Amino acid sequence: METLIINKRHELPRAKRLFWDFITLLLWLGWIYLWKPLIIVFYKILTLKANPDEISDVILNNIGVIPFHKALFMLIATPIVLFILSRLNRHMSSSKHVQYQPDEYAEYFQVNKTQLEACVNSQLVTVHHDEHGHITSLETKI
């Protein structure tokens, strides 16, 4: 029987994986760049490079005001860009996803099928296992 944990990232073409890794890196760098003024202010305050009398000046000089039209543009553009990016990553895997039946799970984990089916509809399940991590029994509470 196959492994029940599925990870399909390795099936993406190498070019697509590198493209999405590059996009992710750019987004993280952009996020850090947005926090740069605040990081500079905290650094100056924590290293005592700013005099206590000049702290408010340091804060106001490093953190600029965002105009309303730019804030509105970012508020509208961000969800649109995220939606477009979510639609671009539509790689269909060549392999089919295997859907297992309850009796196959019972056979794989070597538990009683009726016990397993009772646990599916239960709200609280206790799984008892041996010293090797194999399931010995299932107990439903509610």
More confident residue, 19 or 57: 19
Does 50 lie in the same domain as 28? yes
Mean pLDDT value across residues 40-58: 73
Does 63 lie in the same domain as 31? yes
Q: How many angstroms separate the Cα of 100 from the Cα of each of 78, 79, 90? A: 39, 36, 24
Residue 96 lies in a domain: no
Does 119 lie in the same domain as 76? no
List, in sequence order, every residue forming a beta bridge with 128; answer none if it has no partner: 137
- pLDDT at position 7 is 58
pLDDT digit string, tens, across residues 71-85? 778 778 888 887 887
Among 65, 88, 111, give the residue marking a domain's end.
88
Tell me, what amino acid is at 9? Answer: R
Contacts of 104 (CB under 8 A, 6+ apart): 1
Does 28 lie in the same domain as 84? yes
User: How many domains, in total, are found in the chain?
Assistant: 2
Does 77 lie in the same domain as 106? no
Among 88, 111, 129, give the residue marking a domain's end.
88
Does 73 lie in the same domain as 16? yes
Does 81 lie in the same domain as 21? yes
What range defines the domain where residue 134 resides? 102-140
pLDDT digit string, tens, across residues 3-41? 444 456 677 788 888 888 888 888 888 888 877 777 777
